[in-house]
Amino acid sequence: MLERVCILGATGSVGTSTLDVMALHPGRYEAFALTAQHRVDELAQLCRRWKPRFAVVGTAAQATHLRQLLAADGLATEVLHGPQALADVAAHPEVDRVMAAIVGAAGLPACIAAARAGKKLMLANKEALVVGGRLFMQAVAEGGAELLPIDSEHSAIFQCLPEDRRQWAQRIDHIVLTASGGPFRTRDPATLHAVTPEQAVAHPNWVMGRKISVDSATMMNKALEVIEARWLFDLGPDDIRVVLHPQSIIHSMVVCRDNSVLAQLGTPDMKVPIAVGLAWPERIVSGADALDFLKLAALSFEPADAVRFPGLQLAYDALRGPEGSTTVLNAANEVAVAAFLDRQIRFTDIHRVNADTVAALIPGAADAASLDDLLALDLRARSQAQARVQSLSEALTR
Ligand code: NAD
Ligand code: MG
């Protein structure tokens, strides 16, 4: 039977890779809903190819534009807009599977809606879990949703664990998340202030959206992934370790209680974790290249340098603080990365904005229990971070 898939963030890097994998399996998947916030023309193109029941865009004006484009082709796709429409298509009774591939906290409400509706929820949108944490996991449990990690590291851990989740705690001593180290792993840290957005988004191993590419360069991506792992696998901060592995061949590892280590390997291509999520526990063709062991010169490992990558520690501190701490950290980082990409602040200022926002807000971050509380805390952190961006950017232009 055809599985009906809703792709939140269909025009993005993960969204388009998901459609690429689905295209290899005609008769197995149908695109039921496709959403995008920007690049409506690209969404129109995807609608022509996939003929979804629903398409969702950000604004009413975009919706009007998309309707005109689709009407010209005689397509019956219904066009909706806004955050409520995202949640509605994600929780639609006819949807089997949701790919959460929106970037940032903006994806949280639709993730919660899909979780409460008991969907098979393929989670790429790590920020949603960093912001939502406990509330997100409660929604998964209450809705009876199946949460399938898509982030390559978390997919690796997931693949190394037994299918019966009740056995996870008994198996794991700790996990090791691998990190490529990004484009500046060997650059002189004293020159990092001069990094341009173009340099920061040029990742050596992966082609990804701009925000996650900058996060990889600062290693805030790994910081967010540590927090993501805390919730996905129910682990304490001491049980989540990070090691640099510049080749990005081992995607992460589980160290069992007996010190046996299980690792998942593959070429660095998101189509593998996406295919795992789409078919689990079956395996389907992903379209990714197979690993050629004879071409692998070496697999090497290094510690993550705290001077070069100060952001990583913020994740551990946030996990040891009140639960809203990770919400604050994520919001600050979203604001800081956007300001860096907009050339308002320097690369090294991203960490300053994050650390200062966390220091200013975390004492009051404890009382965020509902989705509305979390979103209010997220907003408060954004305005605090924005004020810090302002002062740093004024200092730059002075
Ligand atoms: P991207 O920027 O390429 O795409 C983001 C998508 O989300 C686009 O379709 C965009 O229109 C939509 N979007 C952006 N802002 C939105 C908003 N406010 N409301 C609704 N929709 C919005 O991003 P990406 O690289 O595909 O990453 C998506 C998510 O997956 C991120 O959370 C990222 O951390 C995670 N992830 C990505 C990769 C990767 O290889 N790209 C790997 C692991 C995890
Ligand atoms: Mg990752």
Mean pLDDT of 282-305: 95
Residue 317, token pair as written in the block: 């501190």
Query: Alpha helices of 79-208 — where are they, by DSSP H?
Result: 83-90, 108-116, 126-143, 152-160, 168-171, 197-200
**Ligand 1 nearest atom to the CA of residue 270, by list position:** 40
Strand partners, 263: 253
Probe target for ligand 1 pocket from 11, 14, 18, with the most ligand atoms within 8 Å of CB: 14
The predicted pLDDT at position 387 comes to 98
pTM of the model: 0.98
Numbered residues of the known binding site = 11-14, 125-127, 151-153, 180, 203, 209, 216, 221-222, 225
Half-sphere exposure of 301 (CA within 13 A, CB side): 10
Domain boundaries, the chain: 3-150, 157-267+288-397
Which residues have beta carbons under 5 A from ligand 2 (an ion)? 151-153
Nearest CA to ligand 1 atom 39: 208
* pLDDT attached to residue 227: 98
User: For residue 37, which atom of ligand 1 is closest to its CA?
Assistant: 11
Arithmetic mean of pLDDT over the chain:
96
Give the residue, out of 38, 102, 276, with the most ligand 1 atoms within 8 A of its beta carbon, to mutate for a pocket test: 102
User: Annotated binding site for 1-deoxy-D-xylulose 5-phosphate, which residues?
Assistant: 126, 152-153, 180, 203, 216, 221-222, 225
The DSSP H or E segment spanning 36 is none
Number of the ligand 1 atom closest to the C-alpha atom of 15: 26
Looking at domain 3-150, its CATH superfamily turns out to be NAD(P)-binding Rossmann-like Domain (3.40.50.720)
**What CATH topology corresponds to 157-267+288-397?**
Rna Polymerase Sigma Factor; Chain: A (1.10.1740)
The pLDDT tens digits of the residues spanning 155-202 come to: 999 999 999 999 999 999 999 999 999 999 999 999 999 999 999 999
Query: Nearest 5 degrees, angle CA 211-CA 214-CA 215?
Result: 85
Å from CA of 15 to ligand 1 middle = 8
* Residue 368 scores a pLDDT above 90: no
ipTM value > 0.90: yes
What lines the ligand 1 site, CB under 6 Å?
Answer: 9-15, 36-38, 101-104, 106, 124-127, 151, 206, 208-209, 212, 270
Find the helix or strand (DSSP H, E) in which 62 lies: helix 60-72
- Least confident stretch, 131-140, 220-229, 251-260, 289-298: 289-298
Instruction: Spell out the long-range contacts of 18-22 with Cβ–Cβ below 8 A and sequence spacing 24 or more.
Output: 18/99, 18/101, 18/122, 18/274, 18/278, 19/46, 19/49, 19/50, 20/271, 20/287, 21/271, 21/274, 21/275, 21/278, 21/284, 21/286, 21/287, 22/278
